[in-house]
């Protein structure tokens, strides 16, 4: 004889099923790159930060032009950062918010008459250049060291990690001060390389941890069996699976690099005259804080804006690459998915039994004399029914 057991749909199971259905529908037919891109664009803070950072970079490099190693491309702004025009409005900023007017010197002028807008744009160029170069150099070194240490392990891992520990014990600001004083006069590009040569330790440790986990996976064993060399396994099989950690921490390295460059330039160990940077602008005009505070406002605003934008972009990339980071669906979306999937099928117990058929209704158990295939009775059976009526399976 067959025994049929019926259960009411569980609310938690319905919600879980609806959530899975929504996630599957959103990623159905999409590649991994498309899924990452869609998740990133859903992160509003990261998307806004990317737009703001792109605007700052375009504004800085097009307004006052570019001067790299003697190659100078003029910009659309009327003044250059090394030009000294006559003072207007006693150096006070000519920009007003209402009515919106920029004037000849929207950010004001310093004590000698240089246009602060042009100087800040040049400082932004140098700081961004240091940030990008330092981030790229530190990421490359960190990835290579961490990949080799994590893949080979044993003595190779011990030697590389002890060397990393030595670099970590030396404060980065001290190394940057010594090397910045020696190489800062060579330009922002060289300073970025110097910072990158000593800022890779965190990246190396994180990549090593990823490689220690991934090298034991089945696809790595399959690559070894097929005869792939270690270099190919590292850079073609394991490294692409670590791209999430690498990209996120590269953005964090860039944010730290621009703050370090600003600190070194403020201390006088960063970019040297006649060039300038955001930190150097603040350092050169620190005596005028009480008389011309606008000289400090704009470099500080751009330093904070760039660092925050890079951090928010890194946060968005972390959410995009991490599959455990899921967007919580709204109640309306879950209800819609639950209706689309339909009611849950009843669970059936086909265990043979010599007794009468058993039906579970809520917490009560009732018996019937014939097979029951589909039964759902929301009413409770009172054990003390005064009429002593048997359970009617057709009710």
**How far apart (Å, rounded) are the C-alpha atoms in residues 150 and 355?**
63
* Per-residue pLDDT tens over the stretch 186-207: 778 888 898 899 899 999 999 9
Domain span including residue 190: 39-87+114-321
Q: Which residue has the higher pLDDT, 28 or 301?
A: 301
Q: Which residue has the higher pLDDT, 143 or 275?
A: 143
At residue 124, the pLDDT reads 92
Nearest alpha-carbon partner for 252 in 318, 322, 163, 349: 318
Q: Which residue has the higher pLDDT, 176 or 385?
A: 176
- Report, as an integer, the average pLDDT of 27-50: 82
pLDDT above 90 coverage of the chain, percent? 23
Give the bridge partners for 175, in sequence order: none
| Inside any domain, residue 268 | yes
> b/e per residue, 312-335, with b = 16+ CB within 10 A?
bbbbbbbbbbeeeeeeebeeebbe
> What's the number of domains the chain is made of?
1
- The yes-or-no verdict on residue 288 having pLDDT over 90 is no
- Report, as an integer, the average pLDDT of 114-143: 92
- The yes-or-no verdict on residue 72 having pLDDT over 90 is no
| Inside any domain, residue 337 | no
206-to-133, 211, 371 alpha-carbon distances in Å: 20, 9, 62
**How far apart (Å, rounded) are the C-alpha atoms in residues 145 and 207?**
8
Q: Which residue has the higher pLDDT, 325 or 89?
A: 89
- Report, as an integer, the average pLDDT of 268-291: 82
DSSP code of residue 38: H
Q: Which residue has the tokens 């406002």?
A: 297
At residue 59, the pLDDT reads 93
Tell me the three state secondary structure of residue 359: strand
At a CB cut-off of 8 Å and minimum separation 6, what does 308 contact? Answer: 49
- The yes-or-no verdict on residue 99 having pLDDT over 90 is no
| Inside any domain, residue 10 | no
At residue 392, the pLDDT reads 54
Of the given ranges (2-16, 97-111, 258-272), which has the lowest mean pLDDT? 2-16
The number of helices, as runs of H, and strands, as runs of E, in the chain is 14, 4
| Inside any domain, residue 273 | yes
Nearest alpha-carbon partner for 64 in 56, 73, 52: 73
- Report, as an integer, the average pLDDT of 33-55: 89
* Per-residue pLDDT tens over the stretch 147-181: 999 999 889 999 999 999 998 888 888 888 888 77
**How far apart (Å, rounded) are the C-alpha atoms in residues 82 and 48?**
33
Mean pLDDT of the chain: 78
pTM: 0.72
CATH number at residue 72: 1.10.3720.10
| Inside any domain, residue 121 | yes
The DSSP annotation for 275-340 comes to: S--HHHHHHHTGGGTTT-THHHHHHHHHHHHHHHHHHHHHHHHHHHH-TT--PPPPHHHHHHHHHH
At residue 394, the pLDDT reads 54
């Amino acid at each position: 004889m067959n025994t049929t057991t019926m259960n009411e749909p569980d609310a938690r199971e319905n919600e879980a099923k609806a959530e899975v259905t929504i996630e599957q529908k959103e990623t159905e037919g999409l590649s991994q790159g498309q899924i990452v891109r869609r998740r990133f664009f859903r992160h509003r803070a990261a998307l806004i930060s990317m737009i703001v950072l792109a605007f700052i970079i375009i504004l800085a490099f097009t307004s006052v032009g570019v001067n790299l190693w003697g190659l100078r491309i003029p910009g659309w702004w009327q003044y250059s950062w090394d030009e000294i025009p006559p003072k207007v409005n006693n150096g006070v900023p000519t920009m007003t918010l209402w009515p919106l007017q920029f004037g000849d010197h929207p950010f004001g002028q310093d004590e000698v008459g240089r246009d602060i807008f042009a100087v800040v744009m040049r400082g932004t160029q140098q700081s961004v250049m240091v940030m990008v170069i330092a981030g790229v150099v530190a990421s490359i070194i960190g990835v290579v060291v961490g990949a080799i240490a994590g893949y080979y392990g044993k003595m190779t891992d011990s030697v590389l990690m002890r060397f990393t520990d030595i670099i970590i014990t030396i404060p980065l600001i001290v190394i940057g001060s010594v090397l910045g004083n020696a190489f800062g006069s060579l330009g922002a590009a060289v300073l970025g390389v110097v910072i990158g040569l000593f800022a890779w330790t965190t990246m190396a440790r994180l990549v090593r941890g990823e490689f220690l986990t991934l090298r034991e996976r089945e696809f790595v064993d399959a690559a070894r069996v097929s005869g792939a060399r270690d270099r190919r396994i590292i850079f073609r099989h394991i490294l692409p699976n670590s791209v999430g950690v690498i990209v996120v921490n590269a953005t964090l390295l860039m944010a730290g690099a621009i703050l370090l460059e600003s600190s070194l330039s403020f201390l006088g160990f960063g970019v040297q005259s006649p060039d300038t940077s955001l930190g150097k602008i603040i350092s050169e005009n620190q005596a005028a804080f009480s008389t011309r505070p606008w000289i400090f406002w704009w470099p500080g605003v751009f330093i904070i804006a760039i660092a925050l934008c890079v951090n928010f972009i890194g946060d968005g990339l972390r959410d995009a690459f991490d599959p455990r980071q899921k967007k919580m669906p709204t109640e309306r979306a879950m209800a819609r998915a639950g209706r689309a999937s339909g009611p849950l099928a009843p669970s059936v117990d086909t265990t043979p039994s010599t007794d009468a058929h058993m039906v579970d209704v809520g917490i009560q158990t009732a018996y019937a004399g014939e097979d029951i295939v589909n039964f759902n009775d929301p009413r409770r059976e009172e054990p003390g029914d005064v009429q002593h009526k048997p359970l009617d399976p057709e009710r």
